[in-house]
Structure 1
Amino acid sequence: MKRLWSHLLGLLVLVVATCALLGTLAVVVASRQLPPLDAIAAFRHSAGYVPLDKMPPALTQAVVAIEDERFYLHDGIDYVGVIRAGVANLSDDLSQGASTITMQVARNFFLSREKTYTRKLYEALLAYRIEGAFSKDEILELYMNKVYLGEGAYGFAQAARTYFGKPLAELTLAEAAMLAGLPKAPSANNPVVNPRRARQRQAYILLRMLELGRIDRHQYDAALLEPLRLR
């Protein structure tokens, strides 16, 4: 019996070592095939690009609160967030996803949305490379300008005009929270197509901002009561 367990243990070690070797080889091969980041650098100089300091703090705080609350703490991949999102998503479809803002930037610029292990590997490797090339504020700025938000709007500046007919600087907290709810499902969560679902998402984001100390109770209550005025 002892001999059988010894053989099984040896086989397990061999399998683990083989998997580790194949994983390392996959990472090395994928790393050599990563695209250059020139497209990101060029995009930062495109017409209509809005610097982060020109965006209302309520909007950037809402986006970080719902998309990646540990954004300023991780190095591109939030392992704590992956575990927490996996547990939370078992019971709450409004919870955060496991992709960080940096990973979403990588996907938005270079990758498709297909759910394959290969795409996730490239996404993770690109996220590390992006984190090494740009500051956190620059990465958030890229995300805010590039992400698709429904109704043909790319970036929050365009979305503010599309949904509310106003520039970013004039957004209210309630409007900022509603726009921040769009990246997860821009077709389903947008207030034009589904105002009820958009309101639910908005309320959840406002609650997260309250829990994280980004807004106080008075701001939270006032934003929830603000009527929805679309363009």
Structure 2
Amino acid sequence: MRVVVGLLLLLLGLCGSGAQGEAGGLGEVAEINQNTDPKHAAEESTEQTTKQTTSDVWTELRALRDMVVELNVHMELLQRENSDLQTRLSSSESRTDQLERENAEKPKVAFYTALTNAGHLGPYNTDITLKYSKVFTNIGNAYNPSTGFFTAPVKGVYYLQFTVFGFKAGYIAVHVYKNNQRIMYNVEKNNEDWVHQYFTNSLVLELTAGDEIHLVLPTSCSIYDNSNNYSTFSGSLLFTL
């Protein structure tokens, strides 16, 4: 009897130990299950994703900030260039206005005349001043057809030209006078009647305001002109001084 009771107690003890072992095993399984809870894993994944997203957002923000800084630099450079262009444009416009004013104020002088419709002039027994009576151009009114004188209105350099025609036997000639001084002598001899004879000459003269230029037919010489305007006298102001 004692032996049976002992065996029963021994079995009960073994069962208790097994139950404790199973309980311990279940505890470990529960702990493992708790550590590998899907909800917890999802939260960790979400947290990691959030951290990664936040990092990416900051990276993009820094990149955008750098772009904005670079754009601001470009805008400042463009504004400076635009300011420089406006300054140069304003300067050019001022210079253009100044040139237009100077051009408007600059005297305009040009004339073109022909001698006469009367045919032959000369030969005479004295020098005579040629009066080119047919005026086609007289800008500035510096040429006077009544006297045959061109008067320089301003100090400057002038271009003057004349053409002389004749077809009568003898000499055709023209002298050029500046004020009362002869500065050019031109003469051609025609040996036969009805043979056309021409010569042309030109001058570039520095004149002061009031200087006079006129052409003279010398003694014993002749010149011819008619409606065809063979003999002419012209000039213009090249530039002022």
Q: Same fold (TM over 0.5)?
A: no
Structure with more strand by fraction: 2
Structure with more helix by fraction: 1
Per the shorter chain, which TM-score range? under 0.3
Larger-gyration structure (1/2) = 2
Relative contact order, CA 8 A, sep 6+: which one is greater?
A: 2
Q: TM-score, normalised by structure 1?
A: 0.24
